Structure 1
Amino acid sequence: MLHLRLITPAEKTDDVVRLIEKTVGATHLVVMPGAARHPAGDVVMCDVAREAGDELIGALRKLDLDKTGSIAVENIDLSLSERADKAEDDAPGEGVDAVIWEHLTDATHEESTLSITYLAFLTLATMIAACGVVLDNAILIVGAMAVGPEFGPLAALSTAIVQRHPRLAVRSLIALLVGFAVAMAVTVGFTWFMDAVDLFHKSDLEGDRPNTAFVYAPDAFSFVVAVLAGIAGTLSLTSAKSGALVGVAISVTTVPAAANAAVALAYGDMSQTVGSTDQLLLNLLGIVLAGTLTLLFQKWLWRKRR
C-alpha cells in the first residue's frame, strides 16, 4: 500500500476527493479543510494499493496539484485494516508488478546526480579494483563492484529513454562519462604512486592472472551477463526490492574494467587498456539495453492487464 498526503487549493479539493473516491484500490480517505499553511489549502490523505498508485498520481498531476499544491507519497510497511485488504484485492494486477513511474523517475534522477559523493564512491571503487587486478585478488574485485555506484546513472538513462526525458538522459550521460573519466584519471595517478613506493609492479599486471584476466578479455558472456544483470537491477528498482541490487552490482565488470584500463594505461600497456575499455563499454551497453527493454515490457504488460 501507498500513503498519499496532498495539499490542495480549496477550490480543487472537491475534484481531488471525487477522483480518489472513484479510484479502485483507494481507501482511508481523510480531508482536513484549511489545515495547510504553506502553501495554504486543505490537506487530503488516503491510502491506495500500489497497483492503482501510478494511475491516481497521474490523474492528480493532470489537476496540476504538483504545481498548485503538493503530492507526497510514502510506502506503508504495515497496514492492519480490512478496508486496505479489500482495496488491494479490488485493484487490478499485483502490487509487486506495478511500476510507479513518478517514483522511478525521481529516484533515478537523484541517483544520476554528478555529486562529490558519487565521484568519491566511484573513484574509491576503481582504486580498490586496481589493487585487485594487480594482486589478482578476486575478493577485492567483488568488493569494488559492490562499492561502485554506476548502476544509478545507467538505470536513470534507461528510464529517460522510456519516459522520453531528455534532461534526465543528459544528466545520466554526464554522470557516467565524467564519473569514469575522473575515477580512471585518479587511478592512473594512484598507480604511479603505488609503483613509486614499490607496491605495484608492471610484472604483476602482465603476469598470469587466473582470477582477474577476464576484465580485459571481453567475450559473448560479458554481454550476456550484463544484459541479465540489467534486467535484474531494473526489476529490483521497479518492485522496490533494493536488496537485489547488491547482487546486480557484483555481476558486472564495469568498475574492474575501468580500473584495469587505468592501471594498464599507467604502465603503457595499450593492449590491456583497449581490451578493458571494450569490456567496460560492452557492459554499459548491455545494462542500458536490458534496462530499457525491461521497462518497455513492464509498461506494455501493465497497460494490457489494465
Structure 2
Amino acid sequence: MLHVRVITPVGLTDDVLRLAVECPAVANVTRLAGAAIDPAGDCVEFDVAREGANEILADLRGLGLKESGGITVEEIDLSISAAADEAMEAAPGHSEDAVIWEELAARTSAETRLTWSYLVFLALAVQIAAIGALLDQPILIVGAMVLGPDFGPVAAFCFGVLQRDLPLIGRSLRTLAVGFAVAIAVTLACAVVSRLFGWIEPSMLDDRPLTSFIIHPDRWSFIVAVLAGVAGILSMTARKSQALVGVFISVTTVPAAGNIAVAIALAHWDEVGASLIQLGVNVAGLIVAGVGTLLVQRLLWRRFDVRFTAADGVKTPEGAAAER
C-alpha cells in the first residue's frame, strides 16, 4: 500500500475527494479542511494499493495539483485495516508487479544528477578495478563492480527512451560520459604516478588468467549484460535493492574502465581498444534490455489499467471484476 497526501485548493477539494472515494483501490480517505498553509488550502489523505496508484495519480495530476498544490506519496510498511485489504483485493494485478510510473520517473530523474558523490564513488570503483586488473585479483574486480554507481544513469536513459524524453536522455548520457571520463582520468593519473615510483610495470598486464575476461569481449559479454539489464530494471520497479547488487556484479563496465586507465599508463595499447569494446558492449546490452523490459512492463500492465465503472458512474470492485 501507498499513502498519498494531497494539498489542494479549496475549490478542487470536492474533486479530489470524489476521485479518491470512487476508486476501489483507495481506502481510509481523510479530509483536513484548511490544514494547508503554504500553499493555502485543504489536505486530503488516503491509502491506495500499488496496483491502482497509476490511475489515481494520473487523475490527480489532471486536476493541475502539481501547479496549484502538491501530491506526496509514501510507502506503507504495515497497514492493519480491513478497508485496505478490500482495496488491495479490488485493485487489478499484484503489488509485486505494479510499476508506479510517476515513482520511476522521479527516481530515474534523480539518477541523472552529476553530483560529487557520484563522481567519487565511480572514481573509487574504477581505481579498485584497476588495482584488481594489475594484481589479477577477481575479488577486487567484484568489489569494484558493487561499488560502481553507473547503472542509475543507464536506467534513466532507458526510461527516457521509453518516454521519448530527450532532456532526460541527454542528462543520462552526460552523466555516464562525464562520470567515466573523470574516473578514467583520475585512475590514469594515479597509474602514471605509480609507474614513476616503480610500483607498477608493463609486465603486470602480460599474464592475467583470472581477470583476462575484461579484455576479451564476446557474445557472452552482451548476453550477460542483457540479462543483468532485465534484472536491474525489475529490481528498480519492484523495489528489490538486493537484486540490484547482483546486477552490479554481473556487468563489466567498471572493470573495463579501470583497465583502460592502467593500459594507457603502461602502454598496452591493444588492451585499451579491447577494454573500450567491452565497455561499449556492456552498456549496449544494458540499454537494449532496459528499454525492452520497460516496454514489456508497460504493455503487460495496460491489461490491468482498467477504469472501474458502474451504471451510476461510481467505481466499484464489481465493475472491475466485470471488466476483467
TM-score by length of 2: 0.93
What's 2:229 paired with? 230
| Counterpart code for 2:221 | S
Shift of 1:108: 1.1
Task: Provide the C-alpha distance between the structure 2 equivalents of 1:191 and 1:88, rounded to a whole number of angstroms.
Answer: 56
In terms of mean alpha carbon deviation, does 258-267 or 227-236 score higher?
A: 258-267
What's 2:90 paired with? 90
What's 1:5 paired with? 5
In the TM superposition, what are the counterparts of 1:120-199 in structure 2 within 5 Å? 120-199=120-199
What's 1:118 paired with? 118
Establish whether residue 269 from structure 1 lines up as the match of residue 290 from structure 2.
no
What's 2:210 paired with? 211
| Counterpart code for 1:83 | A
Shift of 1:120: 0.5
Task: Provide the C-alpha distance between the structure 1 equivalents of 2:11 and 2:267, rounded to a whole number of angstroms.
Answer: 69
CA RMSD, Structure 1 to Structure 2 (Å): 0.8
Runs of 5+ unmatched residues, structure 2:
306-324
Establish whether residue 300 from structure 1 lines up as the match of residue 311 from structure 2.
no
What's 1:256 paired with? 255
Task: Provide the C-alpha distance between the structure 1 equivalents of 2:142 and 2:226, rounded to a whole number of angstroms.
Answer: 19
| Counterpart code for 2:129 | A
| Counterpart code for 1:264 | A
Task: Provide the C-alpha distance between the structure 2 equivalents of 1:55 and 1:236, rounded to a whole number of angstroms.
Answer: 22
| Counterpart code for 1:36 | A
Deviations 1:217-267 (A, max 9, x none): 100000000000000000000011111111100100000001101111112
Shift of 1:71: 0.3
SS at match of 1:33: strand
**Does structure 1 conserve the Cα–Cα contact (< 8 Å) formed by 2:6 and 2:45?**
yes
Task: Provide the C-alpha distance between the structure 2 equivalents of 1:268 and 1:114, rounded to a whole number of angstroms.
Answer: 31
Deviations 1:56-83 (A, max 9, x none): 1111111111111000000001111111
Task: Provide the C-alpha distance between the structure 2 equivalents of 1:297 and 1:279, rounded to a whole number of angstroms.
Answer: 27
4+ aligned runs moved over 6 Å, structure 1: none
Shift of 1:304: 2.1
Establish whether residue 285 from structure 1 lines up as the match of residue 280 from structure 2.
no
SS at match of 2:72: strand
Task: Provide the C-alpha distance between the structure 2 equivalents of 1:59 and 1:255, rounded to a whole number of angstroms.
Answer: 42
Deviations 1:156-200 (A, max 9, x none): 000111112111111100000111111111111111112222222
TM-score by length of 1: 0.98
| Counterpart code for 2:296 | F
SS at match of 2:241: coil
Shift of 1:91: 0.4
| Counterpart code for 1:180 | F
Runs of 5+ unmatched residues, structure 1:
none
**Does structure 1 conserve the Cα–Cα contact (< 8 Å) formed by 2:9 and 2:41?**
yes
In terms of mean alpha carbon deviation, does 224-233 or 195-204 score higher?
A: 195-204
Deviations 1:130-166 (A, max 9, x none): 0000000001000000000000000000011111211
